[in-house]
């Protein structure tokens, strides 16, 4: 199933969503256009207590079949909590050889297995010729890292002395090694690492993946998280914090999100990896798409080490930012996969957060927690729950919340108590996964139903050779653009400017800034069909000469734009030096057919 290093074949929104576009030729027009880079989910890799295939996992989630059992990994008889959701049938030799497995902590083994499953599910093992390994990023985090390795090696130190501690302790223990092992196994050379935001880690990773795709830094990102904290030390720590349920006599009924009798979470373990892929790349290879990643948001409670802000305002800010990034109104969302840990503080605060962010629409949303099925997979929970949010869109079905038998009056939303619920496309256009982590970390990712609609473009009016922008780095549609341009040494721009000219004429520098300004104008959906004509400059200051071959960063901010005229402030920067700053004047005219 998994291929060893060298296995892959190496090859040579919404309109209102702030995104990072790329320049492409506009077919048949002789012009250039700006295309917003969008991200879609094309593969799911799930190693969970509820199943390690997409089908088995989804079946367990819909059936609300709990994987919580008495602890098997160690003798838990002395602990207040003696139940967990463990992966009892995991065999690392299915995904790696025994030597590799011995050099990995269990959390890294889970991550490699989930990555293998995700690549296979996406049809990317081996990689197609269109996808070089340096265009694949690996962004897999962990809340606790190699806790089992740390625990066993600490025991070795105390029992046998320092010389007996394994030299592999650090590379097995540190949290970045899940991503590193995936990169090593498949030879991916794009950005590699992962976040550590406690129980929000998996959600953070997928939000980061969206940014990597939007920015053009990657075409594919393996994003998610892995956790293996069902150890004596992990249990002792959380039991001391009084965070876990003590319903040991009723394992399957212990984790009770939003229920009046809830008394804490139940620890789980596992990994979830999502293949987040640039939409045009996925379409070109005919990939199956589960959902589009529309936006993400984050915030900090800045309130308490482990407790959420009681009024829900921190998580509400995170949700509002995610909606804004996605370009959605609250009414566009049909389902929220809640953090829903079953702790008294979390569930009440999370309910308040949803009400603050969604207003009256909160009572029309479907909300559910799937943690009673999987256990709380800690850092990996958010990635697994994003898979649920994607599958809900893909199958037009919302999973239920198990064990909600006595609703808490403070938790008064529609938590889908009765069983899985089918929703039509108009009812379920978008879903959200929300995660909250110790330390006040709040993360939300918004997913949308994928219908293969064309990528929005804004056509630039200039024809070569007067197209100077090499790459657009940032766009706030209708407001701000950051682009780069490297003037070639051998260009022949116009009579009087000869190839090999040691300096770039100031008029060309201004023209490049004007082109960046045109992108800012045309990415405003309300101005499509117009042609921004560059009408002149004001308050020009040229600070240093620009030479061919130097990379120029062009920053343009529109100061005002009325019906047919506007002004913008532009800067040209080389390295850390300001080369020029001007005010540009634009006039809008109807674009010719």
- Catalytic residue numbers read 199, 339, 376
What is the spatial distance between Cα 269 and Cα 274, in angstroms, rounded to a whole number?
A: 17
366 φ, ψ to 5°? -100, 135
Distance CA 275, CA 272 (A): 10
Cβ neighbours around 492 below 10 Å, total: 12
Residue 48's contacts (CB-CB under 8 Å, 6 or more residues apart) are 57, 67, 87, 268, 270, 271, 272, 374, 377, 384
Strand partners, 397: 422
Closest CA to 284 of 494, 69, 452, 49: 452
| Residue 50: partners with Cβ closer than 8 Å, 6 or more residues away | 56, 57, 60, 61, 65, 67, 85, 373, 374
**Pairwise CA distance, residues 442 & 204, whole Å:** 9
The beta strands (E) that lie in 91-199 are given as: 136-141, 192-193
If 0-12 CB within 10 Å is exposed, 13-18 middle and 19+ buried, where does residue 476 land? Answer: middle
Beta-carbon contacts of 161 under 8 Å, excluding residues fewer than 6 positions away, are none
E-only strand ranges, 91-188: 136-141
Q: Which residue has the tokens 């009892």?
A: 88
Peptide bond between residue 126 and the one before it cis (omega within 30 degrees of 0): yes
Q: How far apart are CA 41 and CA 382, in angstroms?
A: 15
Identify whether the C-beta of residue 461 lies closer than 8 Å to the C-beta of residue 532. Answer: yes
Three-state helix/strand/coil letters over 455-493: CCEEEECCCCCCCCCCEEEEEECCCEEEEEECCCCCCCC
Closest CA to 341 of 328, 331, 351: 351
3-class SS string, 295-347 = EEEEEECCCCCCCCCCCCHHHHHHHHHHHHHHCCCHHHCCEEECCCCCCHHHH
DSSP at 244:
B
Sign of CA dihedral 158, 160, 164, 169: negative
> What does the alpha-carbon distance between residue 405 and residue 423 come to, in Å, rounded to a whole number?
23
Instruction: Please list, residue by residue across 352-373, b when 16 or more beta carbons sit within 10 angstroms of its beta carbon and e when fewer do.
Output: bbbbbbbeebbeebbbbbbbbb
Residue 581 CB-density burial (10 A; 0-12 exposed, 13-18 middle, 19+ buried): middle
Rounded Cα gap, residues 349 and 367, in angstroms: 14
Spatial CB neighbours of 573, under 8 Å, sequence gap ≥ 6: 552, 553, 555, 579
């Amino acid at each position: 199933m998994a291929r060893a290093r060298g296995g892959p074949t190496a090859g040579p929104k919404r309109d209102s969503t702030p995104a990072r576009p790329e320049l492409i030729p506009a077919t048949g027009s002789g012009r250039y256009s700006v295309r917003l880079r969008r991200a879609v989910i094309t593969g799911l890799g799930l190693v969970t207590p509820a199943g390690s295939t997409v089908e088995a996992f989804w079946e367990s989630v819909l059936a609300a079949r709990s994987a919580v059992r008495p602890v098997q990994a160690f003798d838990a008889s002395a602990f207040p909590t003696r139940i967990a959701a463990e992966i009892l049938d995991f065999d690392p030799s299915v995904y790696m050889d025994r030597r590799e497995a011995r050099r990995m902590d269990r959390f890294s083994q889970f991550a490699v297995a989930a990555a293998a499953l995700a690549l296979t599910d996406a049809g990317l093992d081996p990689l197609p010729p269109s996808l070089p390994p340096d265009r694949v990023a690996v962004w897999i985090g962990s809340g606790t890292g190699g806790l089992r390795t740390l625990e066993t090696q600490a025991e070795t130190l105390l029992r046998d002395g320092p010389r007996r501690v394994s030299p592999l302790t650090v590379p097995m223990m540190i949290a970045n090694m899940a991503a590193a092992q995936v990169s090593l196994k498949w030879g991916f050379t794009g950005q590699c690492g992962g976040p550590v935001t406690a129980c929000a880690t998996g959600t953070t990773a997928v939000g980061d993946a969206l940014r990597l795709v939007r920015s053009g830094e990657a075409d594919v990102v393996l994003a998610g998280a892995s956790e293996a904290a069902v150890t004596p030390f992990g249990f002792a720590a959380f039991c001391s914090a009084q965070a876990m349920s003590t319903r040991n006599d009723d394992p399957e009924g212990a984790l009770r999100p939003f229920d009046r009798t809830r008394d804490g979470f139940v620890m789980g373990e596992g990994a979830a990896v999502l293949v987040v892929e640039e939409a045009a790349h996925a379409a070109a290879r005919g990939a199956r798409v589960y959902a589009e990643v529309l936006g993400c948001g984050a915030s900090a409670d800045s309130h308490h080490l482990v407790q959420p802000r009681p009024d829900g305002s921190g998580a509400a800010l995170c949700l509002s930012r995610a909606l804004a990034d996605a370009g959605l109104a609250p009414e566009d969302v049909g389902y929220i996969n809640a953090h829903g840990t079953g702790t008294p503080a979390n569930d009440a605060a999370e309910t308040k957060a949803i009400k603050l962010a969604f207003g009256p629409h909160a009572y029309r949303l479907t909300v559910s927690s799937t943690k009673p099925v999987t256990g709380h997979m800690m850092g990996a929970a958010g990635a697994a729950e994003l898979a649920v949010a994607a599958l809900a869109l893909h199958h037009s079905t919302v999973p239920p919340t198990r064990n909600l038998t006595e609703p808490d009056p403070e938790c008064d939303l529609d938590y889908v108590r009765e069983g899985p619920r089918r929703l039509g496309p108009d009812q379920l256009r978008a879903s959200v996964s929300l995660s909250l982590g110790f330390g006040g970390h709040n993360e939300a990712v918004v997913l949308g139903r994928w219908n293969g609609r064309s990528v929005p473009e804004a056509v630039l009016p200039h024809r070569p050779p007067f197209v100077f922008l090499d790459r657009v780095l940032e766009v706030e549609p209708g407001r701000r653009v950051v682009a780069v341009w490297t003037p070639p040494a051998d260009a022949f721009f116009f009579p009087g400017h000869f190839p090999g000219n040691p300096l770039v004429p100031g008029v060309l520098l201004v023209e490049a800034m004007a082109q960046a300004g045109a992108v800012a104008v045309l990415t405003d959906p309300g101005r499509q069909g117009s042609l921004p004509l560059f009408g002149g400059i004001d308050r020009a200051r040229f600070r240093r000469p620009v030479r061919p071959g130097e990379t120029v960063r062009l920053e343009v901010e529109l100061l005002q734009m009325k019906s047919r005229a506007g002004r913008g402030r532009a800067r040209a920067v080389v390295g850390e030096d300001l080369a020029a700053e001007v005010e540009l004047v634009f006039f809008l005219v109807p674009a010719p057919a």
